Structure 1
Amino acid sequence: MFTDSHCHLSFPELRARLPEILAEMQQAQVDRALCICTTLEEFEDVYALAQAHDHLWATVGVHPDTEGLREPTLEDLLSGAQRPKVIGIGETGLDYYRLGERTVADMAWQRERFRTHIRAGRQTDLPLVIHTRSASDDTLAILAEEGGLASSASLGLPASRGVFHCFTETMDVARAALDLGFFVSFSGILTFRNASDLREVAAFVPLDRTLIETDSPYLAPMPHRGKTNSPAWVPWVAQKVAEIKGIAVEDVAEATGRNFEQLFNRVVLPRISAST
Structure 2
Amino acid sequence: MLIDSHCHLDRLNYETLHSDPQQVIDKASAQDVQYMLVVSISLNEYHIMREKLAHLSKLAFSCGVHPLHVHESELEPNLLRQLASEDGVIAIGETGLDYHYNPATKDIQQQSFIEHLKVSSELKKPVIIHTREARDDTLRLIQDFGDASVGGVLHCFTEDYAMAMAAIEMGYYISASGIISFKSAKSVQEAFAKLPLDRLLVETDSPYLAPTPYRGGENQPAYTRRIAEVLAQIRQISYEAVAEATTENFQRLFGQIDGLK
The TM-score bracket by the shorter chain reads over 0.9
TM-fit CA distance, 1:47: 2.5
1:99 and 1:6 map into 2 onto residues whose CA distance is 22
TM-fit CA distance, 1:99: 3.5
Matches within 5 A, 1:28-177: 28-48=31-51, 51-99=54-102, 102=104, 107-147=106-146, 159-177=149-167
1:178 and 1:254 map into 2 onto residues whose CA distance is 20
Match of 1:5 in 2: 5
2:36 and 2:257 map into 1 onto residues whose CA distance is 14
1:187 and 1:12 map into 2 onto residues whose CA distance is 17
Q: In the alignment, is the contact (CA less than 8 A) between 1:55 and 1:271 conserved in 2?
A: no
Task: For 1:113, give the aligned amino acid.
Answer: S
1:269 and 1:135 map into 2 onto residues whose CA distance is 37
1:186 and 1:180 map into 2 onto residues whose CA distance is 19
1:246 aligns to 2:245 (yes or no): no
1:268 aligns to 2:257 (yes or no): yes
1:61 and 1:263 map into 2 onto residues whose CA distance is 18
1:233 aligns to 2:223 (yes or no): yes
Q: In the alignment, is the contact (CA less than 8 A) between 2:153 and 2:173 conserved in 1?
A: yes
RMSD: 1.8
**Cα distance 1:109–1:19, how it changes in 2: closer, same or farther (>3 A)?**
same
Task: For 2:183, give the aligned amino acid.
Answer: R
TM-fit CA distance, 1:12: 4.9
TM-score, normalised with respect to structure 2: 0.93
2:247 and 2:217 map into 1 onto residues whose CA distance is 26
Q: In the alignment, is the contact (CA less than 8 A) between 1:87 and 1:127 conserved in 2?
A: yes
> Unmatched 5+ residue regions in structure 2?
none
Q: Which moved more, 1:30-39 or 1:74-83?
A: 74-83
TM-fit CA distance, 1:67: 4.1
Task: State the secondary structure of the residue aligned to 1:83.
Answer: coil
2:175 and 2:19 map into 1 onto residues whose CA distance is 27
Identity across matched positions, percent? 37
- 1:26-70: per-residue Cα shift (whole Å, max 9, x none)? 211211000001011111233345531221010000000104433
> Unmatched 5+ residue regions in structure 1?
150-158
Match of 1:155 in 2: none
TM-fit CA distance, 1:195: 1.3
